[in-house]
Chain A
Amino acid sequence: MMDLRRLFGSRTASAPVARERLQILLAHERGLRGQPDLLGLLRSEILAVVSRHVVLDPDKVIVRMERGKTVSTLEVDIEVPNNFERSRAVAAT
């Protein structure tokens, strides 16, 4: 039975796999278009908000997106200086 199926080419029918992979990939990639730099936008807005209260080094704000199968996570890593209370006072004046 297996040999017969091989003979008739079911083993080599890889096109359905190609089609499915493309459909999934392109659905994802098309979703990203038009909002090309979501992370960049998030980063600059987060930086603007936090800078109202704390003096920050813009290079120390890292925004990362992890895409999982069921859940995606947005990681925001902001390094604040040790004299953060003082810089706050400076920022307020």
Chain B
Amino acid sequence: MAKVLVVTSGKGGVGKTTTTAALGAALAQMGERVVVVDFDVGLRNLDLIMGAERRVVFDFINVAQGVAKLSQALIRDKRLENLWLLPASQTRDKDALTDEGVRSIIDDLRTRFDWVLCDSPAGIERGAMLAMRYADEAVIVTNPEVSSVRDSDRIIGMLDSKTVKAERGERVEKHVLITRYDPARAARGEMLSIDDILEILATPLLGIIPESQDVLRASNVGSPVTLNNAACAPACAYTDAARRLMGETVAMMVPTERKGLINRLLGRRAA
């Protein structure tokens, strides 16, 4: 049974696209058939993070409007054969995305894949609403920072009221994923702690992704962080999160960067 999972947050810049790519690759590495779908019409970036920006021919809206077949728009990952990308359109016409178009494409993707990961745009407008509309599960990406937590709370409210599942009286299974976490700063009381965030949002935790240089390094070269350097702290944290999505019980821990002696002496931040 295919699962449709939306990666959302309300606030921009918290790591939705990074998370979609990393979780998609991690699930594919476990042998699942995965498609990552970019919903950010006009500002697509998942193709760039996945390293497929030069292979985009057709996009979501071409398929929705019948210009191209779904199989023509899907881009197969060059590293993982069971990982695919459906890019967003770069049109400036936000209304090009319709509820009916999204429904028919999601229905079709459900028959072809085990996981449909929808990368939501920021905000609470049409694109974000359509990205979550047909979701069975949601990953709410949150930074340990007041504005991000507030927006996550708002998005959680929408997942509970504006999705098809919610309208049917069912529940979208929600998980919070905390990104850019710095355990040292949290310990010093400079950053909201994991417990603070979970208590406020009252939603179960999927994982904790530490602040890390490896995330930028992976995006620079167009590779999901879980593929670029599977041993680095954020990749381990994303892989653990993907295993939890698969129903495994994985002990929750905060992976930390190994700080070299030289860096420590120079007082350089690991982030």
- Among A10, A16, A26, A29, the one with the most B-chain Cβ atoms within 10 Å of its Cβ is A26
A 21-48 binary contact with B (CB < 8 Å = 1; else 0) = 1110110011001100000000000000
Chain A CB within 10 Å — which of B145, B149, B161 has the most? B149
Q: Given the known A-B contacts A9-B188, A9-B189, A12-B190, are A19 and B200 also in contact in the complex, defined by CB atoms under 8 Å? A: yes
B157 within 8 A of A: yes
B192 to chain A: which residues have CB within 8 Å? 15, 18-19, 22
Q: Which residues of B contact A13 (CB under 8 A)?
A: 188-190
Check if A14 is an interface residue, CB within 8 A of chain B: yes
How many A-B pairs with Cβ below 8 Å?
A: 46
Beta-carbon contact of A16 and B189 below 8 Å = yes
- What are the residues of chain A within 8 A of B196 when measuring CB–CB? 15, 18-19
Are B154's CB and A29's CB within 8 A? yes
Q: Tell me whether B150 is interfacial, beta carbon within 8 Å.
A: yes
B193 at the interface (CB under 8 A from A): yes
Most buried by A among B161, B191, B200: B200
From residue A11, how far is it (CB to closest CB) to chain B in Å?
A: 10
Number of A residues near B (Cβ < 8 Å) is 18
Q: Are A22 and B189 within 8 A (Cβ)?
A: no
Answer whether residue B105 sits at the interface, using C-beta atoms and an 8 A cutoff. Answer: no
A30 touches B157 (CB 8 A): yes
Residues from chain A with a CB closer than 8 A to the CB of B161 are 33-34
Q: Is B246 interfacial (CB-CB < 8 Å)?
A: no
A34→B153 CA distance, assembly (Å)? 14
Q: How many residues of B contact A (CB 8 A)?
A: 17
User: Which residues of chain A come closer than 8 Å to B146, judged between CB atoms?
Assistant: 18, 21-22
Shortest CB distance B145–A (Å) = 8
Contact across chains for B193 and A15 when beta carbons are under 8 A apart? yes
B190: contacting residue among A14, A19, A21, CB under 8 A: A14
Contacting residue for B153 out of A9, A15, A18, A29, CB 8 A: A29
- Known contacts: A18-B146, A21-B146, A33-B157. The answer to whether A26 contacts B200 by CB under 8 A is yes
A21 CA to B153 CA, complexed, in Å: 14
CB contacts (< 8 Å) of B157 on chain A: these are 30, 33
Q: State whether the Cβ of B186 lies closer than 8 Å to any Cβ in chain A.
A: yes
Q: For A22, list chain B residues within 8 Å (CB).
A: 146, 149-150, 192, 200
**B145-178, CB under 8 A of A: which get 1 and which 0?**
1100110011001000100000000000000000
What separation, in Å, do the CA atoms of A16 and B157 have in the docked complex? 24
| Known A9-B189, A18-B145, A26-B153; further 13 A-B contacts with Cβ < 8 A | A9-B190, A12-B188, A12-B189, A13-B188, A14-B189, A15-B186, A15-B192, A22-B149, A23-B200, A26-B200, A30-B153, A33-B157, A33-B161
Q: Which residues of A line the B interface, CB within 8 A? A: 9-10, 12-16, 18-19, 21-23, 25-26, 29-30, 33-34
| 5 interchain pairs, CB-CB under 8 A | A9-B190, A12-B190, A15-B190, A18-B146, A26-B200
